[in-house]
Amino acid sequence: MIFHVLTIFPEFFAGPFAHGVVKRAQDAHLLDIRIHNLRDWAFDRHKTVDDRPFGGGEGMVLKPEPIFLAVESIWPQRTPARKVILLSAQGRLFTQAGANRLSQESELLLICGRYEGVDERVAEHLADEEISIGNYVLSGGELAAAVVIDATARLLPGVLGNETSAAFESFQETGHGRGLLDCPHWTRPAEFRGWKAPEVLLNGNHEEIRRFRRESAVEKTGRLRRDLVKPGPQGGE
């Protein structure tokens, strides 16, 4: 899968993709992350990408021209398998289901806003979707783009080994919690400062371990994330 990122801070991305699973997946050519500098499509002497907002008020707004030109030159042809995503606090909330959906695409182009945001014509006439990573305001779309790429990339076939398959994780319908949180995990030592790892995980009975994991996923979700617990047949929580 190919991810393009359009940003005024290309150097920002030296960090997030240089480690662990995502780095290994790039080295193995399972994914390709291409960072593009928005200023390469600003042609005045100062490579201006922003301007004052119409109607007055605080801050600056990213201009439409460089963004449209960038997308049109990265993709002279738009196909349905090529999706433009605008990172925006006003977008649809990004979830694990969203990551699963995006992982089916072959090529994504993520536009990172800055300042007060991006000229609305980008959302209206260029982006296929507007995505927010949470109900808070970041100073730029770069962190959000890194989050979307990371969460999507680890769902691609071969990116995680079988042992740590994404299928078993929090929010995945196929996980121990079936759409709830993942079960809690323990490792050696079996006793640490007097706190013991659950006995059942040490006894090698796979059926009991499976049941314990399912029950502890449900218990933890009920305790920390009641919002994820689906209403029962009586309409209760």
CA distance 203 to 219: 21
Q: Which is nearer to ligand SAH, 146 or 217 (CB)?
A: 146
Give residues in contact with ligand SAH (CB under 6 A).
87-90, 112-114, 116-118, 132-134, 136-138, 140-141, 144
Q: Cα–Cα distance between 109 and 6 in angstroms, integer? A: 7
Tokens of 87: 């990172």
Helix, strand, or coil (residue 129) = strand
Q: Which is closer to ligand SAH, CB of 6 or CB of 180?
A: 6
Instruction: Compare residues 98 and 140 and give the one whose CB is closer to ligand SAH.
Output: 140
Taking the complex as a whole, the smallest distance from the CB of residue 193 to ligand SAH amounts, in Å, to: 39
Residue type at position 120: E
By beta-carbon distance, which residue lies closest to ligand SAH? Answer: 113
Cβ 127 to ligand SAH, closest distance in Å? 11
Provide, rounded to whole angstroms, the least separation between the CB of residue 29 and ligand SAH: 28
Shortest distance (Å) from residue 231 CB to ligand SAH = 28
Nearer to ligand SAH, 90 or 205 (CB): 90
Output 38 or 217, the one with its CB closest to ligand SAH. 38
Q: Is 154 left (phi over 0), alpha (psi -120 to 50) or beta?
A: alpha
Task: Tell me the C-alpha distance between 221 and 60, whole Å.
Answer: 42
d(CA 112, CA 7): 5
CB-CB neighbours of 231 under 10 Å: 8
Distance of closest approach, residue 140 Cβ to ligand SAH, in angstroms: 5
